[in-house]
């Protein structure tokens, strides 16, 4: 007997305690759920699990109301006040006849009397039937499951909602406030994939509605399902079942089933590369390209310079390994001009931690409510991919400061609050490192600087003379090309002479690759000094020294710790740092 998922226990306890008459199940509702020795789709699971002790009816806009038997339908009609019901004895005999014909594999020929299917007509009937107590049979409660609840009370500004949707919303809210329903053993259970697709009034914190998340399976639950599939004549694996469970973080049991079926059809063992490819496809399809799963390819040692930053990050990595979560920041903001290594630092951190690494893009859309729904789905998926490093590039463009005049109807504020709630969740501290990148920290909201949120703001500045030499020295190893005896100190000095204050680490990488291409064109097997000189002379920086200087000063003025500042800034007073102009 497999243990019940924690959300099932939460639902059971909430129903038993009569904490509410309205429950919402959300997120991973399209997945399989363990029951006994089997794994069932959620509707089948609810039907079998709940019907052990309760009477359950289902409804969605496509199928209408569905009942377990004729007797339940008769009781529903009586409770809803519908006329023309058949005599109880006739209904009982008809039910017995239908069951006997079904057991023989014959059509029953019995068509139940027509019931409405539109939610604006069905929901009042469901409410009336639950309040009446007619669906209650002895100690058995009556539970009505409303599937695809987002099609009944969708997220929208209430002034823009269709009249039927407003009526449905008010009906559902009245159910939640009506104590007569739980007193009569009635429960209304809504299911929705993305909670943000449901009207926000139904999911307000502190309301009368109990919201329960159905999470993606964790590693232990994935392992349990992998072993089940292997017992069911599953595919051959090129790895252990434990390794497969670890590699499929962020996938559902349904995804695992599809992976295994595909491998079995091909007749070849399932490989890590297939899993990675499938994960990328799933994230792209389900998150509309807003999340990119990246395989980190290099570590901190392959980044030249930035000694203080790398020292701090190694302290964080060690704290994660030691389980000392108080040493792990909730978030990090990397500041500085383009090309100084902000993205590379985030990727190297993920590599050394052994974490998943994802990049997220701006979730904003022009449609009302779409941005919040997108972001909600992103956050739910990120939670399932833990442990991970999240990289949010161009953070200053993803939301608007509260001090600015907002033309987005408050979307920026809502996105910011959702992110604060996510990163502030103590259950993910040490499992999620959220890194924001910006070269315009002045456009970030002041709340970002509050301690306990994105508590570390680290400036990555233009490389100094020693760092330029170190970056030049790392490039041949990083890109796997040979060099002759090149005086890299000379090359770094030549860069500064030609482009004072303009050469970033990314520029040095580009110069090194141009030198390699120049060497190959002239037929050389190794990059020589003449190739580097040619590349430096050929190079044109993308930004002026004045622009880079202003970006540097902005980064320094928003720094959270003097340990990250170069010597020339460490003794500058705080007021002067706050006034870069």
* Structure confidence at residue 580 as a pLDDT band (50, 70, 90): very low
Does pLDDT of 55 surpass 90? yes
Predicted confidence at residue 427, as pLDDT, reads 81
Where in the sequence is the domain holding 479, given as residue range(s)? 465-538
pLDDT per residue as tens digits for the range 70-83: 999 999 999 998 85
Side-by-side strand order, sheet with 210-214: 64-66, 55-60, 142-146, 186-192, 22-27, 210-214
Does any domain span residue 388? yes
For residues 110 and 161, membership in a common domain is answered with yes
Does any domain span residue 566? no
CA distance 173 to 249: 37
Residue 193 CA, chain-centre distance (Å), reads 13
Does any domain span residue 131? yes
Does any domain span residue 365? yes
| Residues contacting 213, CB < 8 A, separation 6+ | 7, 26, 27, 195, 380
For residues 525 and 435, membership in a common domain is answered with no
Which residue among 186, 214, 242 closes a domain?
214
Mean pLDDT calculated for residue range 430-444: 88
The answer for 7, left when phi > 0, alpha when psi is -120 to 50, beta otherwise, is alpha
* Structure confidence at residue 402 as a pLDDT band (50, 70, 90): very low
Predicted confidence at residue 97, as pLDDT, reads 66
Closest CA to 172 of 133, 200, 196: 200
Count Cβ atoms within 10 A of the Cβ of residue 229 and give its class: 0-12 exposed, 13-18 middle, 19 or more buried: buried
Mean pLDDT calculated for residue range 14-28: 90
Does any domain span residue 569? no
For residues 366 and 491, membership in a common domain is answered with no
For residues 268 and 338, membership in a common domain is answered with no
Percent of the chain beyond pLDDT 70? 86
For residues 51 and 175, membership in a common domain is answered with yes
What is the average pLDDT score of the chain?
85
Residue 259: which CATH number?
Answer: 1.10.8
Does pLDDT of 65 surpass 70? yes
For residues 33 and 65, membership in a common domain is answered with yes
Predicted confidence at residue 454, as pLDDT, reads 60
Mean pLDDT calculated for residue range 554-570: 85
CA distance 377 to 231: 33
Predicted confidence at residue 93, as pLDDT, reads 62
Mean pLDDT calculated for residue range 423-437: 86
Give 83's Cβ-side CA count (13 Å radius): 0
CB 153 within 8 A of CB 169: yes
pLDDT per residue as tens digits for the range 339-397: 998 999 999 999 998 888 888 876 666 555 677 777 888 888 788 778 889 998 888 77
Does pLDDT of 94 surpass 70? no
- Considering only residues 103 and 113, tell me which one the structure prediction assigns the higher pLDDT: 103
CA distance 376 to 477: 41
Does any domain span residue 546? no
For residues 437 and 340, membership in a common domain is answered with yes
- Considering only residues 373 and 207, tell me which one the structure prediction assigns the higher pLDDT: 373
CA distance 300 to 427: 27
Of 85-89, 344-348, 508-512, minimum mean pLDDT range: 85-89
Which residue among 435, 459, 483 closes a domain?
459
Does pLDDT of 478 surpass 70? yes
Predicted confidence at residue 405, as pLDDT, reads 45
Does pLDDT of 273 surpass 80? yes
* Structure confidence at residue 445 as a pLDDT band (50, 70, 90): confident
pLDDT per residue as tens digits for the range 274-307: 888 887 777 777 766 677 888 888 889 888 888 8
Of 208-222, 241-255, 414-428, minimum mean pLDDT range: 414-428
Does pLDDT of 178 surpass 70? yes
What is the CB neighbour count within 10 angstroms for residue 548? 24
Which residue among 173, 199, 214 closes a domain?
214
Of 243-257, 392-406, 544-558, minimum mean pLDDT range: 392-406
Q: What is the DSSP string of 53-76?
A: TSEEEEEETTTEEE-SSHHHHHHH
Residue 143: which CATH number?
Answer: 3.40.50
- Considering only residues 294 and 43, tell me which one the structure prediction assigns the higher pLDDT: 43
E strand or H helix at 350, and its extent? helix 342-353
For residues 198 and 340, membership in a common domain is answered with no
Q: Provide the 8-state DSSP code for 334.
A: E
| Residues contacting 179, CB < 8 A, separation 6+ | 21
For residues 91 and 177, membership in a common domain is answered with yes
Predicted confidence at residue 107, as pLDDT, reads 52
* Structure confidence at residue 139 as a pLDDT band (50, 70, 90): confident
For residues 72 and 164, membership in a common domain is answered with yes
Predicted confidence at residue 266, as pLDDT, reads 85
pTM over 0.85: no
Of 34-38, 92-96, 534-538, 558-562, minimum mean pLDDT range: 92-96
For residues 114 and 96, membership in a common domain is answered with yes
Does any domain span residue 395? yes
Q: For strands 22-27 and 186-192, give the pairing.
A: parallel
b/e per residue 350-379 (b: at least 16 CB within 10 A): bbbbebbbbbbbbbbeeeebbbbbbbbbbb
* Number of independent structural domains in the chain: 4
Predicted confidence at residue 452, as pLDDT, reads 57
For residues 247 and 131, membership in a common domain is answered with no
Residue 483: which CATH number?
Answer: 1.10.8.60
Q: How many residues does the chain have?
A: 581
CB 367 within 8 A of CB 196: no
Mean pLDDT calculated for residue range 202-224: 86
Does any domain span residue 548? no
3-state secondary structure 243-291: HHHHHCCCCCHHHHHHHHHHHHHHCCCECHHHHHHHHHHHHHHHCCCCE
């Amino acid at each position: 007997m497999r243990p019940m998922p924690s959300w099932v226990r939460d639902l059971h306890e909430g129903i038993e305690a009569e904490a509410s008459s309205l429950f919402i199940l959300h997120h991973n509702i399209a997945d399989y759920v363990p029951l006994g020795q089997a794994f069932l789709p959620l509707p089948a699971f609810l039907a079998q699990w709940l019907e052990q002790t309760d009477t359950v009816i289902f409804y969605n806009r496509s199928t209408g109301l569905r009942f377990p038997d004729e007797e339940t339908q008769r009781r529903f009609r009586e409770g809803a006040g519908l006329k023309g019901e058949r005599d109880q004895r006739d209904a009982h005999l008809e039910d017995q006849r239908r069951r006997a014909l079904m057991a023989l594999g014959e059509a029953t020929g019995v068509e139940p009397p027509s019931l409405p299917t539109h939610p604006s007509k069905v929901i009042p009937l469901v409410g009336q039937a639950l309040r009446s107590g007619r669906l209650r049979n002895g100690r058995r409660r009556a539970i009505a499951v409303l599937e695809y609840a987002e099609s009944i009370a969708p997220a929208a500004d209430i002034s823009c909602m269709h009249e039927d949707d407003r009526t449905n919303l008010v009906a559902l809210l009245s159910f939640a406030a009506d104590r007569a329903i739980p007193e009569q053993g009635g429960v209304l259970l809504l299911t929705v994939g993305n909670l943000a697709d449901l009207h926000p009034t139904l999911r307000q914190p502190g309301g009368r509605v109990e919201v329960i998340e159905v999470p993606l399976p964790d590693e232990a639950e994935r392992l349990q399902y992998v072993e089940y599939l292997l017992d069911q004549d599953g595919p051959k694996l090129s790895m252990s079942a434990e390794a497969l469970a670890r590699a499929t973080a962020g996938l559902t049991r349904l995804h695992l089933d599809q992976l295994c079926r595909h491998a079995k059809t091909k007749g070849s063992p399932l490989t890590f590369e297939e899993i990675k490819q499938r994960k990328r496809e799933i994230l792209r399809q389900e998150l509309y390209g807003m999340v990119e799963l990246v395989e980190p390819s290099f570590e901190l040692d392959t980044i030249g310079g930035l000694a203080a930053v790398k020292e701090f990050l190694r302290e964080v990595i060690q704290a994660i390994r030691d389980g000392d979560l108080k040493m792990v920041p909730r978030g990090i903001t990397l500041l500085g001009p383009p090309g100084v290594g902000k993205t590379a630092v985030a990727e190297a951190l993920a590599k050394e931690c052994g974490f998943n690494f994802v990049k997220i893009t701006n979730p904003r859309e022009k449609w009302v409510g779409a941005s919040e729904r997108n972001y909600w789905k992103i956050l739910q998926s990120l939670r399932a991919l833990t442990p991970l490093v999240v990289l949010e590039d161009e953070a200053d463009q993803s939301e608007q400061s509260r001090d600015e005049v907002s033309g987005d109807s408050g979307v920026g504020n809502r996105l910011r609050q959702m992110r604060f709630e996510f990163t502030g969740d103590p259950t993910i501290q040490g499992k999620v490192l959220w890194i924001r990148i910006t070269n315009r920290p002045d456009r970030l909201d002041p709340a970002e600087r509050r301690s306990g949120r994105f508590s570390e703001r680290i400036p990555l500045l233009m490389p100094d003379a020693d760092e330029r030499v170190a970056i030049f020295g790392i490039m041949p190893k990083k890109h796997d090309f040979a060099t002759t005896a090149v005086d890299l100190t000379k090359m770094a000095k030549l860069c500064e002479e030609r482009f004072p204050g303009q050469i970033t680490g990314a520029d040095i990488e580009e110069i090194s690759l141009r030198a390699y291409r120049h060497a190959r064109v002239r037929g050389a097997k190794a990059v020589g000094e003449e190739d580097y000189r040619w590349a430096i002379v050929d190079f044109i920086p993308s930004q002026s020294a004045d622009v880079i200087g202003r970006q540097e000063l902005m980064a320094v003025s928003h720094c959270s710790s003097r340990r990250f500042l170069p010597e020339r800034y460490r003794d500058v007073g705080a007021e002067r740092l706050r006034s870069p102009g």
